[in-house]
C-alpha cells in the first residue's frame, strides 16, 4: 500500500450500505412489469439505473424510457431508511485523513441520489463523480479517470475499492489497482473496509 497515492471508492455496496434498499426497489420494479425479480436484482448491481431499465424493457419509446428512469431515480432518492455507512467506512476515512491521502467517490448513481445517500451515511467526499458527470457509466473507466484527474494523481497510483464485477472492470480498465469486497478477486480482496484501514495504517 506504500505506492498508493489516492483511494477511489465506489458508493453503493462499498462505502455506503444500501444493498437491501436497492434490491427491494428493483424487485418491486420487476414485479410491476412481470419480469424475473432475481434476474433484475442480480443485473442491477454496480450498473446505472438507465442501463438496467433499457436491458429489461428494450422496446419502450424514448419518452417512456425517460419517464421510467426519472421515476425510479426519484423513488431511490426518497428511500433512505436502512441506508448507512458500510462496516469500516469511517475507520478507513479516518486513516486517509491521518495520512493525508486524497480520496473520491465514483458511483453509477446520479448526483441527487449520491448526495442524499452519502449524507445519510455521514460521508462528505472531497471529490464526487456520478453518472451525470461522465459520458458513460461503469464498466467504462471514465469515472475513475476523471476522479484521478480531479485529485491530480497518476491513475497507476490510485487504489479503487469496489464490490461488483462491473465496477472492478472499470477500475482495471483505468489502469488502477482494484481492492474488492464480497468475495470478488482483487488486489487485495477485503472482508470489509476495516481491513483496508488496517492495511493503509501500516
Please report the pLDDT score of residue 2 as a whole number.
85
Given a cut of 90, is residue 80 above it in pLDDT?
A: yes
Asked if 30 and 22 touch (Cβ cutoff 8 Å), the reply is: no
Given a cut of 90, is residue 1 above it in pLDDT?
A: no
Please report the pLDDT score of residue 30 as a whole number.
98
Mean predicted confidence (pLDDT) in 78-95: 96
Give me the catalytic one of 10, 17, 91, 163.
10
* Catalytic-residue membership of 12: yes
Please report the pLDDT score of residue 90 as a whole number.
97
Portion of the chain with pLDDT greater than 90, in percent:
94
- Report how far apart the first and last C-alpha atoms of the chain are (Å, whole number): 8
Angle, nearest 10°, between helix axes 111-120 and 62-77? 10
Asked if 5 and 153 touch (Cβ cutoff 8 Å), the reply is: yes
For the record, the C-alpha cell of 72 comes out as 425510479
Given a cut of 90, is residue 66 above it in pLDDT?
A: yes
> What's the DSSP call for residue 12?
B
Please report the pLDDT score of residue 12 as a whole number.
94
**121 — pLDDT class (breaks 50, 70, 90):** very high
Q: What pTM did the predictor assign?
A: 0.89
Mean predicted confidence (pLDDT) in 77-82: 92
* Catalytic-residue membership of 140: no
> Which pLDDT tens digit goes with each residue over 161-193?
999 999 999 999 999 999 999 999 999 999 999
Asked if 97 and 201 touch (Cβ cutoff 8 Å), the reply is: no
Asked if 168 and 162 touch (Cβ cutoff 8 Å), the reply is: yes
Given a cut of 80, is residue 202 above it in pLDDT?
A: no
Please report the pLDDT score of residue 69 as a whole number.
95
Mean predicted confidence (pLDDT) in 11-27: 95
Q: What does pLDDT average to over the chain?
A: 96
Give me the catalytic one of 12, 17, 91, 163.
12
- In this structure, what are the phi and psi dihedrals at residue 31, rounded to the nearest 5 degrees? -60, -40
Amino acid at each position: 500500500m506504500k505506492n498508493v497515492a489516492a483511494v477511489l471508492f465506489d458508493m453503493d455496496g462499498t462505502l455506503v450500505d444500501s444493498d437491501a434498499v436497492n434490491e427491494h426497489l428493483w424487485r418491486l420494479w420487476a414485479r410491476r412489469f412481470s419480469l424475473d425479480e432475481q434476474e433484475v436484482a442480480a443485473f442491477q448491481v454496480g450498473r446505472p439505473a438507465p442501463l438496467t431499465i433499457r436491458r429489461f424493457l428494450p422496446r419502450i419509446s424514448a419518452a417512456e424510457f425517460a419517464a421510467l428512469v426519472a421515476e425510479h431515480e426519484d423513488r431511490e432518492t426518497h428511500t433512505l431508511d436502512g441506508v448507512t455507512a458500510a462496516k469500516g467506512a469511517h475507520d478507513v476515512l479516518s486513516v486517509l485523513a491521518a495520512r493525508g491521502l486524497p480520496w473520491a467517490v465514483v458511483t453509477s448513481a446520479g448526483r441527487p441520489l449520491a448526495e442524499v445517500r452519502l449524507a445519510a451515511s455521514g460521508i462528505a467526499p472531497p471529490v464526487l463523480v456520478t453518472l451525470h458527470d461522465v459520458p458513460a457509466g461503469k464498466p467504462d473507466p471514465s469515472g475513475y479517470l476523471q476522479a484521478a484527474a480531479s485529485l491530480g494523481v497518476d491513475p497507476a497510483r490510485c487504489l479503487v475499492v469496489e464490490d461488483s464485477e462491473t465496477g472492478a472492470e472499470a477500475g482495471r480498465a483505468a489502469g488502477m489497482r482494484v481492492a474488492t469486497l464480497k468475495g470478488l478477486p482483487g488486489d487485495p480482496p477485503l472482508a470489509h473496509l476495516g481491513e483496508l484501514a488496517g492495511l493503509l495504517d501500516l
